[in-house]
Structure 1
Amino acid sequence: MDQYCILGRIGEGAHGVVFKAKHVETGEIVALKKVALRRLEDGIPNQALREIKALQETEDSPYVVQLKAVFPHGAGLVLAFEFMLSDLAEVVRHAQRPLAQAHVKSYLQMLLKGVAFCHANNIVHRDLKPANLLISSSGQLKIADFGLARIFSPDGSRLYTHQVATRWYRAPELLYGACQYDQGVDLWAVGCIMGELLNGSPLFPGENDIEQLCCVLRILGTPSPKVWPEITELPDYKKISFKEQAPVPLEEVLPDASPQALDLLGQFLLYPPRQRIAASQESACLGVLGPGLP
């Protein structure tokens, strides 16, 4: 830690406190994430190990935040990241009105390239949201905070917790208690982020898990086994029942968005996870949105 001079506190995530710091010898500005160990005998927390492993797998992508160093400090661990000026949540919060389509397309393009890279390396992020999408001084978007990431099992045999992803960006299968899921949870989150960029505020701002489902159902309608056959196998399907609601056309929800943007949004916000458009189709699906920023 002696090689860094702390410049200030950036914030606190679920898995550690983050500081802005300067490398004493090189002058390089970095973000230092301190991960505390509860007890020495507990070893390094799983979240930190997962984050390190995922970032090592994705270090070749310009759309994933770069991990520069990992070193022990006191009874904990410090992760040194490239410093990023802001995040997408701050960009949306300070925008005077919903972002111009060129900006939406530009951010979405970088997000999809990062997600596609993760998925190609069998990594599911599981906590995509605007606050975890960092923005550099030049406007480059990079995916950060891999503390909930998992190496994905292509055969679908592994069981995972459904208590992942920040609630507003949590896929319906997770809200229904799914323990077997795939990259579809990230693609749903991409749709929620896209909707927020178009809207200037979150599409599904639920205050608890049940209300979160209600927010989704209000717009997309009540899911049925006909539309989503796998829903009947989800653990909480029979525990929760909702009044039948028809879907609301997305053009009524987002009246200022272009038909092309709404069409693409609808391909992310689909109930059956396997039907959501893949991040690797980024070039094809973004072509319809018109020019982005250079």
Structure 2
Amino acid sequence: MNEYILNRYKILGKIGEGVHGIVLKAHDTTQNNKVVAIKKVSLRTKFGGISPNTLREIKTLQHADCEYIISLLDMYPDLSGLCLVFDYMPYTLYSKLKDDENPLSRQNIQSYTRMLLRGLAYLHDEMRIMHRDIKPANLLINEHDELRIADFGLARLMYPPDDKRKCYSPQVQTRWYRSPEILWGCQTYGPSIDLWAVGLVFAEMLRGVPLFAGNTDIEQLALVIRTLGTPTLTWPEVVNLPDYNKIRFPNSKREEWENIFPSFTTKEEIGLVDSLVKYNPKQRFTAKEALCHEYFGRNL
């Protein structure tokens, strides 16, 4: 560990580990011992360079200026790679959902959803970036219940609508939050994939369990179809997607949302889910449209 980190950052311990490296908790001695999180990213490419995912994350966070997106405070080289310094956020939405002793209140759910949508509105409209991996584990929460969007390793700058290069990888999103167009191999998708994921995160907060929890991509599609019904009537373009004809599912009728959510779920809550969890990407609300939904006009 080099002199920079030894002199400025006092390591308190390890708080996490993932495929791209470890996360440490530390005091920043130049900022009155402010608690920070240090993400140590290993060099992954065979040429000793930084992985594309890390470069995406750095590039996005260096340009982002939004209170609902995690702030990159510092960055420096380390013997084994690169260290990224962030505000320390003690919770994730995933950890909050797993805390059975302190279930989310309706106020929490509304507040977290509003902050998530505001962050995405900034990403989509101001930065022209798709996140492509919205899920509870990537939504960080501090001790003041303020939510920040994190983990931009799959983030992607959007091509202009008329750009003929408009083709993206379908190997994005975590399966449970993956949109149907991605599951069917679409490569010309847009920011609406993030709004599908928001709808599923919101539904999970309301239900306490994920809406679609498939073990494979095929099972994931089957669960979606079992709930939303056969898609061709509301989304005729689905038949043109690359993987649509690779497997056939029996025709299915749509399940009523009221049968899926707890009896105390309000019509406004169900209405917001319905505006986001739609087959046809063109019919899903944008982040700005969702923020204008009547659900956010209610004082909970």
Deviation, structure 1 residue 285: 0.9
Of 156, 169, 172, the residue aligned with 1:164 is 172
> Secondary structure of 1:179's match?
coil
1:100 partnered with 2:105: yes
The TM-score normalised by the length of structure 2 is: 0.92
Residues 33-92 of structure 1: per-residue CA shift (max 9 Å, x gap)? 11111357341111111001111222x200001000111111311110111110111111
Separation (CA, whole Å) in 1 of partners of 2:236 and 2:159: 22
Equivalence map 1:220-235=2 (5 Å): 220-224=228-232, 226-235=233-242
> Secondary structure of 1:41's match?
coil
Separation (CA, whole Å) in 2 of partners of 1:14 and 1:165: 15
Percent identity of equivalent pairs: 43
Deviation, structure 1 residue 158: 2.5
* Alignment match, 1:87: 92
* Alignment match, 2:149: 143
> Secondary structure of 2:278's match?
coil
List gaps (5 residues or longer) in structure 2.
Answer: none
Separation (CA, whole Å) in 1 of partners of 2:45 and 2:292: 50
Separation (CA, whole Å) in 1 of partners of 2:290 and 2:86: 27
Of 187, 207, 221, the residue aligned with 1:213 is 221
Of 275, 279, 282, the residue aligned with 2:287 is 279
Separation (CA, whole Å) in 2 of partners of 1:209 and 1:269: 17
The answer to whether the Cα contact below 8 Å between 2:110 and 2:296 also exists between their aligned partners in 1 is: no
Deviation, structure 1 residue 289: 5.7
Equivalence map 1:195-206=2 (5 Å): 195-206=203-214
Equivalence map 1:36-115=2 (5 Å): 36-38=42-44, 41-58=47-64, 60-96=65-101, 99-115=104-120
Separation (CA, whole Å) in 1 of partners of 2:45 and 2:20: 15
Mean Cα displacement is larger for which, 157-166 or 272-281? Answer: 157-166
Of 223, 238, 244, the residue aligned with 2:245 is 238
Separation (CA, whole Å) in 2 of partners of 1:264 and 1:284: 10
> Secondary structure of 2:62's match?
helix
Deviation, structure 1 residue 207: 0.6
The answer to whether the Cα contact below 8 Å between 2:37 and 2:86 also exists between their aligned partners in 1 is: yes
Distance 1:10 1:128, change over 3 A: same
The TM-score normalised by the length of structure 1 is: 0.94
Deviation, structure 1 residue 128: 0.4
List gaps (5 residues or longer) in structure 1.
Answer: none
* Alignment match, 1:193: 201
The answer to whether the Cα contact below 8 Å between 2:44 and 2:50 also exists between their aligned partners in 1 is: no
> Secondary structure of 1:235's match?
coil
Residues 142-178 of structure 1: per-residue CA shift (max 9 Å, x gap)? 0000011001113263222111111100000010011
The answer to whether the Cα contact below 8 Å between 1:4 and 1:23 also exists between their aligned partners in 2 is: yes
Of 115, 134, 138, the residue aligned with 1:132 is 138
Separation (CA, whole Å) in 2 of partners of 1:22 and 1:123: 32
Separation (CA, whole Å) in 1 of partners of 2:134 and 2:158: 16
Task: Give the length in aligned residue pairs.
Answer: 290
